[in-house]
Amino acid sequence: MLNKENYLAFTFFLVFAAVFISFTDPAFTGFVSHDLNGTNQTENQTITPNVTLIPSPLLRIELTQKSFDQGRLLTGLIKLNMSGIVTQDDVLTLSTDNQISERKLVDIIRTLNVPYRELQTIYTGENPQTVKTLTFNEAGSQLVGVRIRSKSNTASFKLNVEGKELNGQFPTFPKVDIGAKSLYNDFEYYGDLASYDNTPISPSTLELTNPEEQIIITNSPKTFYCERINLPESRAFKLSAKYQRTENTLSFGDMKMKILNFPDFTPVPTGECDLPEETNLAFHDCDAVLDRPIKGEKLICFFSSKDQHPNGLAKLSIDPATSIQNQDSNGYACNEGFECDKTVPTDYYIRAFPGIYPKILSTKEEFKNWSTSPSIEILSFNNHLNICEPFDFSRTFCMVPVKISSESAGIIELSNFELKYTKDGSAFAPVTELNDLTYLQSSLELTKPVTLDIPIEVFNLAAPQTKTAVLKAQTSSGLSGEKSYDVNLIESEVTLEPIPAIKNRISISKTLLQRLQKDELTAALGLMEKMNSVFTELVKFEDTIKGIEAAINITQVEKEVKISEISTQLDEILKQVPRDYDIKTSFKFTPSSLSFEELSSEIPIKQDTSYKSAVLSLQDEVTVEAEARVVDILYTNGETKTATSITKIIKPKKPLTNVEIIEKIPKEMAQSVSEIGFDTPSTTLKDDPVVKFVISEISPESPGRITYAVYKESLDYVEDTLTLYLPASISNELIGVDCGNNYCNFLEDYTSCSEDCLCGNNVCDIGEENTCPSDCKKFPWGIVIGLILIGLLTAGGAYYYLVLYRNPEKKKAFLEKMGKIPVVNIFFKPKKLFKSQQELQSLKLFVKNASLKGYSKEQIKQTLIKKGWKPEQINEAFKP
């Protein structure tokens, strides 16, 4: 037996343990409170056994008023105390009467001013195998996963990547991205060097039209003469310089070229090649074949690797001055320690030709032979393991995603995989299996305990047709609260008066539309125009109803007949617009840039090297962030449509004006521009689709924004969208008016460029049926068929009257024969009284309501006859 002191101590321990466990819940802090003064419970509320009553509530409902007009949106706040991790599965559900509305807490938190951090996507895996075969039916990417302990350290990694044939095609330019980080790849397959691009890459400041001079290379002291060049990605470059060896010093020196990184001026490994010792003044070159791909701004340098001579070892051509068009230079001089200074105004006659590779994988290759940087795979694994979210209950293991992509159809087989790692000084068994990857959507973590003030109006709940009602709130973890409120009923709703009822219905619909018009999803889904159109129709209905109410020359029954007709029209028009949106998932990513080569493959543009270099360098002036959302669009008739919206934010490093953003959208998302909804106005560059957005001004404080949507679930392809920034001046000059290239771009039309643009020539050319209605006016088949039918009916009527009508036996036999003929027999069947069962029910309801109001059967009949109803229809409506 416990004595009194032990019993009290044991009781205190149990209470303390209960409070401690509840307050250390990973996602919620506090408890549900049912307010004893009635603020969070109804008068006859039953408190369930699992609810704890304490003074600090977790979830509270605060309405803005004690009573709401019937049909009006409920307003107020849900106050929810939270901390810790919130996942995509955590939802808050509100309900009142028979209305239920649900929102994800992660979406709510992102709209509130509370401190939180985004957590990484949690990946899980299944079906572990030592060999994974990935089939690509078209260009795209797939994911596999590596199961490994969180916070561990990768020691070694090996993997074989093999390309196999699919329908006569091998995978093209396969890439591997460990961690699915999208910033860079760890493996890129190029294959054997095929040739070099014929177009040299050089800076725009090197103007070969200026008078050429030469400098003497004495190598005293040793100097590297360099030109800063923006290189496209490749594993080999033909480096070229215009020079000549000094004849009397040929036994001295050794001319070479070298690639340095910029701006740190460190040498690129294997980025050096030996030039010929030629005595004629010309461009001479050598091949720098690298062990890793490089791209971006580099210094391409000319130098002598040995010896000095006062008479000079060689002469190098230079551009000694700037011009009005280019008042800068890209020349640099570096000493033996690779300390470099700009040599304004001098540019050196140095250029580069990028290597061309087939990039078709038809063999088995070791990962290390095509990694993009030494030990890059180790770094990528460790970076991901340091931040990944464990997927198992013990929070021990992570699933590291590995993204494999191909630019064509084909089969990629992964084999001979082995990853060795340690954790806290202990080595573990090597990982040799790859998993099929699944993932939970990204979550977020509240950085400190907060009280969320969640607006009730975002749940779109209206006061019901009851004098009192209860608003209930519940989280997916089981926390709940409720609050009662009064409803100011509209008397006409109780007595079923049609005019006040439809006025209230229109008012509620307008309120709903106004809320949706303010919702960014409406614009993102391209629904704003339809929303505005329906709102205008509702205003017209209100004006019509006012006219009906004010009319003194028609009876009340006639007014209600008109109102009934408006109600039917209202049903139809409200089907056109949604009542709400449900965000199923959202995904943030960094989109890839649309390259100059990809742009030129889509639309004809000028191929001048200076444009190519300018376009490449311009991309550094902005950063682009993107978010994709999959949304269910909910309609009043119960229909649901799924859409995917993409919003891209363009952040410049400095204020920019007349900005153009070119967007290439993959065909997996949309076959043509007509399948895309745009919030931001766009210009179609190619229906395939490639579009252009024009933004007048952006700045770091006020970035640009483009939004578009497709009406299907396309989350797998949003990362394949490509974005390119261009100033309007360069865009128009780059695309320009170029008549005769068999392409009609957005700057051209039939008047200015008739050889390319056929729309407007009054001839319906091939392919114009859906794109040029002014030329492809349809033949008036309706009129022609109508005239033929009139002729046939006239002839048939004459035959019927002259032959059959006067002979009853022939008439009867004729009708029997015609009734047996398919299709024709529909003309000889008894005609239906009503177009549909709904039309009959509407008439019956009107008759019932009019009878309840004291109108006689004869009064109702006469009113309906005046409105055009037939006696047999009216008689049918009076039947029970």
Neighbour tally for 251: CB within 10 Å: 8
| Tokens representing residue 26 in the block | 């990973």
**Of the candidates 299, 287, 341, 345, which has an alpha carbon nearest to the alpha carbon of residue 318?**
345
Secondary structure element (H or E) that encloses residue 610, with its range: helix 609-618
Q: Is 123 left (phi over 0), alpha (psi -120 to 50) or beta?
A: beta
Residue indicated by tokens 């490449």: 616
In this structure, the answer to whether residues 407 and 427 fall within a common structural domain is yes
- Residues with Cβ within 8 Å of 684's Cβ and at least 6 positions away in sequence, in order, are 673, 690, 691, 692, 746
Q: Is 626 left (phi over 0), alpha (psi -120 to 50) or beta?
A: beta
**252-256, 344-348, 443-447, 680-684: range with lowest mean pLDDT:** 680-684
In this structure, the answer to whether residues 465 and 554 fall within a common structural domain is no
User: Residue 43 phi/psi, 5° resolution?
Assistant: -65, -35
Q: How confident is the model at residue 277 (pLDDT cuts 50, 70, 90)?
A: very high
Residue 812 lies in a domain: no
Task: Give the burial string for 587-620 (b: 16+ CB within 10 Å, else e).
Answer: bebebebbbbeebeebbebeeeeebbbbbbeebe
In this structure, the answer to whether residues 278 and 349 fall within a common structural domain is yes
Q: What is the CATH number of the domain that holds 469?
A: 2.60.40.10
**302-311, 491-500, 738-747: range with lowest mean pLDDT:** 738-747
**372-376, 663-667, 694-698, 855-859: range with lowest mean pLDDT:** 855-859
In this structure, the answer to whether residues 557 and 588 fall within a common structural domain is no
- Residues with Cβ within 8 Å of 721's Cβ and at least 6 positions away in sequence, in order, are 591, 626, 646, 663, 664, 665, 666, 669
- The whole-number pLDDT of residue 761 equals 55
User: DSSP 3-state assignment of 779?
Assistant: coil
- The whole-number pLDDT of residue 836 equals 66
In this structure, the answer to whether residues 713 and 624 fall within a common structural domain is yes
Residue 500 lies in a domain: yes
| Tokens representing residue 699 in the block | 């700045």
Cα atoms in the 13 Å half-sphere on the side-chain side of 784: 4
| Domain interval for residue 229 | 195-356
* Number of domains composing the chain: 7
Q: How confident is the model at residue 331 (pLDDT cuts 50, 70, 90)?
A: very high
Render 505-555 in DSSP notation, one character per residue.
Answer: HHHHHHHHHHHHHHSHHHHHTT-HHHHHHHHHHHHHHHHHHHHHHH-SSS-
Distance CA 299, CA 208 (A): 19
Distance CA 457, CA 477 (A): 22
CA 36 to chain centre: 48
In this structure, the answer to whether residues 649 and 724 fall within a common structural domain is yes
Residue indicated by tokens 């128009």: 732
CA 788-789-795 angle, to 5 degrees, is 95
Q: How confident is the model at residue 845 (pLDDT cuts 50, 70, 90)?
A: low
Percent of the chain at pLDDT > 90 equals 32
Q: What is the CATH number of the domain that holds 595?
A: 2.60.40
- The whole-number pLDDT of residue 18 equals 43
- The whole-number pLDDT of residue 238 equals 97
Neighbour tally for 156: CB within 10 Å: 12
- The whole-number pLDDT of residue 37 equals 32
Residue 10 lies in a domain: no
Q: Looking at residues 220-225, what average pLDDT do you find?
A: 93
In this structure, the answer to whether residues 773 and 850 fall within a common structural domain is no
| Tokens representing residue 566 in the block | 């408006």
Residue finishing a domain among 679, 714, 735: 735
Q: How confident is the model at residue 54 (pLDDT cuts 50, 70, 90)?
A: very low
Cβ contact 470:532 at 8 Å: no
| Tokens representing residue 55 in the block | 């003074």
Cβ contact 66:91 at 8 Å: no
> Partners of 582 in the beta sheet?
632
Q: Looking at residues 525-540, what average pLDDT do you find?
A: 87
In this structure, the answer to whether residues 302 and 165 fall within a common structural domain is no
Distance CA 170, CA 408 (A): 8
In this structure, the answer to whether residues 219 and 127 fall within a common structural domain is no
Give the strand pairing for 67-69 and 480-488.
parallel
Of how many residues is the chain composed?
Answer: 880
Cα dist from 400 to 395, 396, 466, 524, whole Å = 14, 13, 55, 33
Cα atoms in the 13 Å half-sphere on the side-chain side of 662: 25
Q: Is the model more confident about 785 or about 154?
A: 154
Q: How confident is the model at residue 393 (pLDDT cuts 50, 70, 90)?
A: low
> What Rg do the C-alpha atoms of the chain give, in angstroms?
38
**Of the candidates 641, 624, 625, which has an alpha carbon nearest to the alpha carbon of residue 633?**
641
User: Residue 296 phi/psi, 5° resolution?
Assistant: 95, -170
Which residues of 165-322 form beta strands (DSSP E)? 175-178, 187-188, 195-196, 213-217, 224-245, 255-261, 267-274, 282-304, 314-319
Distance CA 289, CA 298 (A): 15
- The whole-number pLDDT of residue 174 equals 96
Distance CA 131, CA 434 (A): 7
Interhelix angle for 556-574 vs 528-550, to 10°?
180
| Tokens representing residue 136 in the block | 């690509």
In this structure, the answer to whether residues 483 and 502 fall within a common structural domain is no
Q: What is the CATH number of the domain that holds 416?
A: 2.60.120
Residue 277 lies in a domain: yes
Residue 815 lies in a domain: no
Q: Looking at residues 181-200, what average pLDDT do you find?
A: 91
Q: Is the model more confident about 795 or about 571?
A: 571
Residue 628 has pLDDT above 60, yes or no: yes
DSSP 341: E
Residue 3 lies in a domain: no
Residue 791 lies in a domain: no
Residue 9 lies in a domain: no
Which of the residue ranges 20-34, 461-475, 797-811 has the most confident prediction, judged by mean pLDDT?
461-475
- Residues with Cβ within 8 Å of 789's Cβ and at least 6 positions away in sequence, in order, are none
| Tokens representing residue 735 in the block | 């695309």
Render 307-335 in DSSP notation, one character per residue.
Answer: ---TT-SEEEEEE----SS-----EEEE-
In this structure, the answer to whether residues 100 and 126 fall within a common structural domain is no
Q: How confident is the model at residue 686 (pLDDT cuts 50, 70, 90)?
A: confident
Distance CA 201, CA 296 (A): 12
Amino acid at the residue 749: D
User: DSSP 3-state assignment of 668?
Assistant: coil
Task: List, in sequence order, the alpha helices (H) in 314-423.
Answer: 376-387
Q: What is the pLDDT of residues 3-39, one digit of tens each?
A: 544 444 544 444 444 444 344 343 333 322 233 233 3
In this structure, the answer to whether residues 384 and 322 fall within a common structural domain is no
**Of the candidates 203, 215, 202, 228, which has an alpha carbon nearest to the alpha carbon of residue 332?**
228
Cα torsion 864, 867, 868, 874 to 10°: value is -10
Largest pairwise CA distance in the chain: 129
**Of the candidates 347, 433, 366, 337, which has an alpha carbon nearest to the alpha carbon of residue 127?**
433
Cα dist from 429 to 146, 401, 869, whole Å = 14, 20, 86
